[in-house]
Structure 1
Amino acid sequence: MNITPIEKLFALFNETALILQEELNCSFLEALAETGENLFQGTILQEELSELTVKRLQKQYNEIQIEKFSKEEIRKAYQLVILKGMKENVQPNHQMTPDSVGLLVAYLVDRFMKETSFCLLDPAVGTGNLLLTVINHLQKNISAIGVEIDDLLIKLAYVNANLQEQPVQFFNQDSLEPLFIEPVDVVVADLPVGYYPNDLRAAAYQLKASSGHSYAHHLFMEQSIRHTKPGGYLFFIIPNGLFESEQAKQLHDYFKENVIIQGLLQLPISMFKNKNAAKSILIVQKKGEGVKPPKQVLLASLPTLSKKAEMDNILNKLELWFAENKR
């Protein structure tokens, strides 16, 4: 029976994390971050382990040379182990962006960005899966920044990037606090949807609610636009009802003033547990000198991504749109 490289890596991450989880008396995901760090550093960093545990781990680590695996093999195996850990300890806001969506975002970034080198920001980086999927699929020179408030998620993201040898700078902070970063060329974000609890901080934004809590996803968009260079592109994964909420008019006015809508691709409903959770990819460009709106906005409803013929048909339509609008 042939074991694929991804299965080999999954087994290594999973088994060594289980050993560390038991010995360190921590959660599976914390143990996974620890084992990933060991693999990256090429040594066992936890000083409190018994001699037997060190030998067991060493034996497993020695069986695999991480540098022989491709970046995508490492990312996929690591992602699968994270998903396993998240099932055991579910936090509703930590849904990982599905691979198919990440690949679609990578394709769109590639088609919109003509430059061969640029800087990319993910202000809601989580475990880094979306950001790393995009970087891995672009044959371009990309420097990247990821911001995440959750200590554990950012540790997983940092180990994830290290194992894939991708140059990402991580900031462990609330993304809606001031970001001390240079303006970027591109933003990708699977927006956290819901209310932002810090009304004092929200008051610094144009998109703050006139009463009660503001929408976090609106503030994330404003923060992202603020930190994008004029003419830069932003790819947001948004809830389908974004423009139908009671704060939608405000968002509409803000967009009119600051960005040009380039496209809206509705993801297949079948990807989501219920249709209320369905999402789309919104593509906007920050206004700036010489930035012109497209002849027509790119609008499409994507079929189930596994339906090859329908998917090819949509991709042909997208390519036609690029030919007519992005010369």
Structure 2
Amino acid sequence: MTFEHANVRTSCKPWGSHDLRPWNRSGSPDAAIGELRFDRAETQAPDPALLLKLLFTKQKLSIQVHPDDAFAQTMGLANGKTEAWYVLSAEDGAQVAIGLDRPLTQSQLRDAITDGSIADLVKWQPAEPGDVFFVPAGTIHAIGAGLVIAEIQQRSDTTFRLFDHGRSRELHVEQAVAVADLEPARMDKMPVHLTVERMKLVSCAFFVLERIDLPPDANWELQAQRETWGLVTAGDATIGSMHAGIGDAFFAETDQAVIKVGRNGLTILLAYADSAPQPGLLRDLDDRKSDHAIRDLTLAGISSRKPASVPLRSMEGHP
């Protein structure tokens, strides 16, 4: 049984930010920090299957693509990289690119990487707080400037760059051509409420990403059956033995933790290593009623809802 207050590692990036508040106080006038990576507190434990990060972008990131498991294993790696993004904050005009804006052949993609025209062939779209983007392995993608993004991903750093905005880093033409999806990404799935408190944002073969919204001064129990990462994005609470506020993260596995919500309520991004939402993930301790059975409200003819204070859209690519 495991419940840990996650450690945080900073990673300097040329496109990063000097001010990470309110998510972290590690900002510095001397170094631009692009990533916060959350690690298990138990340093001798095996590597988890998932990686939780925060990204801070003041410039556009490279246009890139990640391999799937099958291709990664031909390289001697354990797995590929499928990921999902949740936009925490966005400056006016912020954008992300997901997939191509038209179908290409491998030859056309190779030429576009070589001459730099790939920068005009990706599908840029607005990004606003509460937006959700699913990026399956093989999807060409990029993150624009002016964003703070929470990212959950398979634990892999394998990245093939197609375009780097003049930074002169190595491009990976043949690897990118070999793994890239040559069709535009489909973006037709919407988040759905599983219960009043639980909203499923993304589910795929490797993880489920949910947003949990709990009312002020409430008492709940989290039942983490599998590897689970949580990030507090609003409010505060005592979760297990840790007091958690905005930017705090935790790791849990086959364990239970009591959540005592503070006076401002609590919002958590929760990601766990499963392919479908877990029934009984939350239990209300105030009235002793178990979490209702998971239900897809769209099947009942009820549209997905969102708290009025938090915008929420979804741009999921195809699985």
TM-score of the two chains, using structure 2 as the length reference:
0.27
Greater relative contact order structure (CA < 8 Å, 6+ sep): 2
Structure in which a larger fraction of residues adopt helix: 1
- Give the greater-gyration-radius structure (CA): 1
